[in-house]
Amino acid sequence: MSKKYEFTGETKTVFGVTLKQIRLLVDIAALGLAAGAVGGWIEKEENLSQVSDNAWVSDNAWVSGNAQVSGNAQVTGDAHVSGDAQVTGDAQVSGDAHVSGNAWVSGNARVSGNAWVYGNAQVSGNARVSGNAQVTGNARVSGNAWVSGDAHVSGNAWVSGDAQVTGDAQVTGDAQVTGDAQVTGDAQVSGDAQVTDNAQVTDNAQVTGDAQVTDNARVTIVNITAVRTDGYTFSVCATPDGPRIIAGCRYFTYPEALAHWKEARGGTKLGDESLLIVKHLKAMAKLNGLDKPVKAGADQ
């Protein structure tokens, strides 16, 4: 099969790596490019498939190391793809974005702006990573999810569905943000926590441990956390409906929380401890001004 591109003979050195400019030998109608069009820069032929569909590197973008661009993927602008990274499918990496390490960008995913995707991170489906956002470690962003602003998704965290992580928010550990959930502002979701459905975690709120925020729940402002002796995490947070106790998948008012643990663990050490923790969190919430409903607009 005939080759798709050749080297122009122009080279440049970036970070000690010699890059070679490429030129099309065939038309790529899908991109509106004709044979002879000058493209971006690669270190070697292995970086850009010679025969795979419409994959292309253009503008000042460059690909180096063992990184590969294949399928119909595009790397444009001043974007960099390096290490053992893979950009495949119909994915696009543009702007000043960086994809490196063992990261994968696939499907119809878009990585743009000054965003970084590195480590073993994966961005797939119709996901978008933009702004100054970073997706690192073993984190995954998939579906129609958006990660933007200065947000960080790291560790083994997973953002999927139509979820959005924006602002300076952080999703770390084994946390999951799914559905139409939003994590914004300076919020942090960590541990094994889950934020799902239409839930929102905003401002300086922290959702940790095994906590689950679901349905239409709103968690805003800094919340207070206590851990039972068996490692089970309780939090109290301010919401538009007043303070709520979050523990695992539970999202309770104070009376609901007391009634639940009296019924579920009444007469046991862990039951007594649970009731004391709820009472402690109620007192701490009052002391720290978390005992009143927050304005509905405060979680936007």
Amino acid making up residue 20: K
Residue 298 has what pLDDT?
Answer: 43
Of 167, 192, 225, the residue at which a domain comes to its end is 167
Contact partners, residue 152, CB within 8 Å, separation at least 6: 133, 134, 135, 136, 169, 170, 171, 172
In this prediction, residues 272-294 reach a mean pLDDT of 87
Q: Residues 156, 182: one domain? A: no
Q: Which domain, by its residues, includes 77?
A: 1-167
Read off the pLDDT of residues 90-142 as tens digits, 9 standing for 90 and up: 999 999 999 999 999 999 999 999 999 999 999 999 999 999 999 999 999 99
Q: Residues 7, 43: one domain? A: yes
Of 145, 167, 189, the residue at which a domain comes to its end is 167
Residue 243's CATH number: 2.160.10
Provide the whole-model pTM.
0.80
Q: Residues 6, 141: one domain? A: yes
Of 139, 167, 195, the residue at which a domain comes to its end is 167
Least Cα distance to 99 among 164, 90, 108, 76 occurs for: 76
Read off the pLDDT of residues 231-264 as tens digits, 9 standing for 90 and up: 888 888 877 778 888 887 788 999 999 999 999 9
Share the mean pLDDT of the chain: 91
* Number of domain units in the chain: 2
